[in-house]
Structure 1
Amino acid sequence: MIDHKDLRAAAEPTGPEPAADRTAVPPTLLDQMGGPMGFVYSTVPVVVFVAVNAVLPLAATVGVSVAVAVALTGFRLLRGERFSSAVGGLLGIAAAVGIVLWTGSAKDFFVIGIWAAAAGFVIASASLLVRRPLTGVVWNLVHGGKHPWRDDAVALRAHDIATAAAALVFGTRFVVKEWLYLADSTTWLAVAKIVLGTPLTVLAALVVVWAFRRTTKRFIVQP
């Protein structure tokens, strides 16, 4: 005969929760962006391209850059990174050097980033002009697309600020890089890409996270 008391006892936990469950710490913003190594991954291909281009013909520079990008991708995969993240960097380098081979100009290694910044600035700015700040639209989509966040002055203001921060980053990148591009300064384009890359992205992301959390507290019922 089955003893129901025994069944209930078996279903209940018999000891403390594993330490890993009690002490699990959610990833930080820097962790989600790849941590310090994420900055390295985005910097190495740029430095290699510019340094090699200073001493070798353009075709050789492209070959070395692709070889380094492949090696870096293999290293990231061996470290257990997601396939999409690791290969995404390789595809970006492949696209950049493809344009260089097509145009025959080293400075065109940076042209994708320049026009991506321009597109980001236009989209973010346009969303502010039509009173649908981009970060708020994204927040709402992530949370089911059913929250009247635009009717809440606090949430709308937070996303105005966050979207304006993103537009400022995109606009700064475009203006500085386009100026250096027109000045044919490949070396300074590399410097600008590094300085205006991860550091500015982290600053803008902090503002966006602040807006997300502020909106979540106002619309999502906490357990």
Structure 2
Amino acid sequence: MTQPAPDPRPGDQSPGAPGADEAEQERQPTLLEQMGGVSGLVYSSVPVVVFVLANVFFGLSVAIWSSIGVAVAITVLRVVRKEPLQPAISGFFGVAIAAFIAWKTGSAKGFFLVGIWTSLLYGGVFLLSVLVRWPLVGVIWSYLNGHGQSWRKDRRARLAYDIATLTFVVVFAARFVVQKWLYDQDSTGWLAFARLAMGYPLFAVALAVTVWAVARAQARQKAIEAEQVETDAEAEARLREKYADPA
């Protein structure tokens, strides 16, 4: 008589088993990791500090080439260390464009011009996404993690992402207003300070709100899915009872 095959134990899955593959796929990089991690945030500030210090002590030309050189060195370092390449490349081009504008305008404050107007552009895009009911925080998060856009059907989940997106709108608006005023006042030193001071702290606030919004939206989706499963089970039970044999 053929013996039935024993049921596999949950803990006996090999690394190549389907369960192990699913576990590996469940581990998604966090938003901070996707942006280059803490090191990426630190690296982004180094060229700015070098530019300002070099401009004070050696003049604009040295400041321009020093900031570009530091950006190149950071990019090479990240490549050698096999860290995420996209943040390194975007950071290098950001510094290069800022240095080019400073050279064209002949003024150190031109180094910050791109960042100022970029803040205005980003703030406008994020605000528009809320107005058209496609809040960018939810869209970007769902796209990066492959969760789909079903959250848009639930008003509470969409509201959570609206709040997170509007937080970024406030952050970008604050950066633009303060830094544009300092730019007009020719306060290059304070402009550099504002860029750094309004970078990490405000980003941390927006990130915290984003984490809250994601947790709230995902909880809502799970609750809706559970309700749907319960509803389907009740409907199936009623059908079985209706068509059951009267024996």
> Do these two structures clear the TM 0.5 threshold for a shared fold by scoring above it?
yes
Shift of 1:210: 2.0
Q: Write out per-residue CA displacement over residues 166-211 of structure 1, whole angstroms, 9 at most, x where no aligned residue.
A: 1111111101110110011111111111111122112212212321
Shift of 1:46: 0.5
2:189 pairs with one of 175, 187, 197: 187
TM-aligned CA distance change 1:44 to 1:218, over 3 Å: same
RMSD: 3.3
Map of 2:46 onto structure 1? 44
Map of 1:96 onto structure 2? 98
Map of 1:144 onto structure 2? 148
Which amino acid is 1:201 matched to?
Answer: F
Shift of 1:218: 2.4
What TM-score, normalized to structure 1?
Answer: 0.80
| Of 166-175 and 55-64, the range deviating more from structure 2 | 55-64
Q: Distance in 1 between matches of 2:66 and 2:40?
A: 21
Q: Distance in 2 between matches of 1:35 and 1:137?
A: 21
Number of positions where the alignment pairs a residue of Structure 1 with one of Structure 2: 213
Unaligned runs of 5+ in 2: 227-247
**Structure number, greater radius of gyration:** 2
TM-aligned CA distance change 1:34 to 1:217, over 3 Å: same
TM-aligned CA distance change 1:214 to 1:14, over 3 Å: closer
- Is 1:125 the equivalent of 2:122? no
Map of 1:70 onto structure 2? 72
Whether the 8 Å contact between 1:48 and 1:65 is mirrored in structure 2 is yes
Whether the 8 Å contact between 1:30 and 1:202 is mirrored in structure 2 is no
1:152-163 counterparts in 2 under 5 A? 152-163=154-165
Which amino acid is 2:148 matched to?
Answer: G
Shift of 1:12: 8.6
Q: Secondary structure, in 3 states, of the residue corresponding to 1:143?
A: coil
What TM-score, normalized to structure 2?
Answer: 0.73
1:158-169 counterparts in 2 under 5 A? 158-169=160-171
Map of 2:201 onto structure 1? 199
Which amino acid is 2:69 matched to?
Answer: A
Unaligned runs of 5+ in 1: none
Which amino acid is 2:54 matched to?
Answer: V
Whether the 8 Å contact between 1:100 and 1:106 is mirrored in structure 2 is yes
Q: Write out per-residue CA displacement over residues 90-138 of structure 1, whole angstroms, 9 at most, x where no aligned residue.
A: 1111111111111111101011111111011112223333444332344
Q: Secondary structure, in 3 states, of the residue corresponding to 1:62?
A: helix
- Is 1:84 the equivalent of 2:62? no
Pick 1 or 2: higher relative contact order, CA cutoff 8 A, min separation 6.
Answer: 1
